[in-house]
Amino acid sequence: MAGKKNFPLRLDPALYEILERWAADELRSVNGHIEFLLRDAAQRAGRLPGRTSAKMPGPRSEDE
Domain-by-domain residue ranges, the chain? 13-44
**Which tops the pLDDT comparison, 48 or 2?**
48
Whether the full predicted model's pTM is greater than 0.75, yes or no, is no
How high is the mean pLDDT of the chain?
85
Q: How many CA atoms lie within 13 A of 30 on its CB side?
A: 10
- Residue 58's CB is within 10 A of a number of other CB atoms, namely 9
Report the amino acid identity of residue 55.
K
Q: How confident is the model at residue 14 (pLDDT cuts 50, 70, 90)?
A: very high
Q: How far apart are CA 13 and CA 37, in angstroms?
A: 18
